[in-house]
Amino acid sequence: EIVMTQSPATLSVSPGERATLSCRASQSVSSSLAWYQQKPGQAPRLLIYGASTRATGIPARFSGSGSGTEFTLTISSLQSEDFAVYYCQQHNNWPPRWTFGQGTKVEIK
Amino acid sequence: EVQLVQSGAEVKKPGESLKISCKGSGYSFTNYWIGWVRQMPGKGLEWMGIIYPGDSDTRYSPSFQGQVTISADKSISTTYLQWSSLKASDTAMYYCARRSSGSYLSEYYLDYWGQGTLVTVSS
């Protein structure tokens, strides 16, 4: 099983500041990496796919980078609505043995 | 508009059976895989399995193989997740999600999600 490790577990950021979230895979997943945002009481929402492509309707302040085993989600200037938990997910296999990271909570500093 | 609408919250006793549903609309239901994801209270997301409603081809995570059954009824654009004998440890929120179209592994992300079904198992 490919293990996805996210860091940090919690990130305290002030509105308007930049947030950088990391996701590491235990083996290469190429660019088959997605990021999801989950707010309390809501379902996850797709933010980034293919490691760096924003999903439809996602603001440009969200960007993804990386390939292989190291990935980054950057939120350039945090807005109040961005405080949430963020998950990475690898989908680099079929039949699917997809795995998620444990999540990074972005909270207000 | 693509929508996945899940059935309502359930409260069950250990040993009981349960079937929850996920109805798709706004797209060609039979042409997209639908997956299920578990989220235990206060925890992260866990991949359970996926079904192709067009022919009911189903794949399970090894962690959930034999523990749940995923099925579909394409005539009513609905997929199901069922348990034959619930345990307290099945208490969780369950989400269905659509796998995006595409032929390459890099395109196999989950693009639309249902609102979730909360399952509580308690004596």
Quick: pLDDT tens for B67-88.
999 999 999 999 999 999 999 9
Residue-level pLDDT at B5: 98
Select from B108, B111, B114 the Cβ nearest to the Cβ of A32.
B108
Residues in A touching B111 (Cβ below 8 Å):
46, 49, 55
CA–CA distance, A108 with A84 (Å, rounded to integer): 10
Residues in A touching B108 (Cβ below 8 Å):
32, 91, 94, 96, 98
CA–CA distance, B45 with A87 (Å, rounded to integer): 8
> Which of A23, A30, A27 minimizes the C-alpha distance to A102?
A23
CA gyration radius for chain A? 13
Q: What are the distances in angstroms from CA A94 to CA A32, A62, A90, B16, B68?
A: 12, 28, 11, 33, 20
Give the pLDDT confidence of B28-69 residue by residue, as tens digits: 999 999 999 999 999 999 999 999 999 999 999 999 999 999
CA–CA distance, B9 with B118 (Å, rounded to integer): 5
Q: Evaluate if residue B117 carries a pLDDT over 90.
A: yes
B66 contacts: CB under 8 Å, gap ≥ 6: none
Residues in B touching A46 (Cβ below 8 Å):
109-113
Mean pLDDT of chain B: 96
Give the pLDDT confidence of A69-100 residue by residue, as tens digits: 999 999 999 999 999 999 999 999 888 889 99
Q: Evaluate if residue B107 carries a pLDDT over 90.
A: no
CA–CA distance, B53 with B71 (Å, rounded to integer): 8
Taking CA atoms, what residue in A is nearest to B59?
Answer: A95
Give the pLDDT confidence of A6-64 residue by residue, as tens digits: 999 999 999 999 999 999 999 999 999 999 999 999 999 999 999 999 999 999 999 99
Residue-level pLDDT at B101: 87
> What are the strands, taking DSSP E only, across chain A?
4-7, 10-13, 19-25, 33-38, 45-49, 53-54, 62-67, 70-75, 85-90, 99-100, 104-108
In this structure, are residues B4 and B114 in contact, taking their beta carbons and an 8 Å threshold? yes
Residues in B touching A32 (Cβ below 8 Å):
105-106, 108
Fill in the DSSP letter of residue B68: B
Cα-to-chain-centroid distance, residue B68? 10
Residue-level pLDDT at B60: 96
Select from A30, A95, A96 the Cβ nearest to the Cβ of B106.
A30
| Closest CA–CA distance from residue A96 to any residue of chain B (Å) | 7
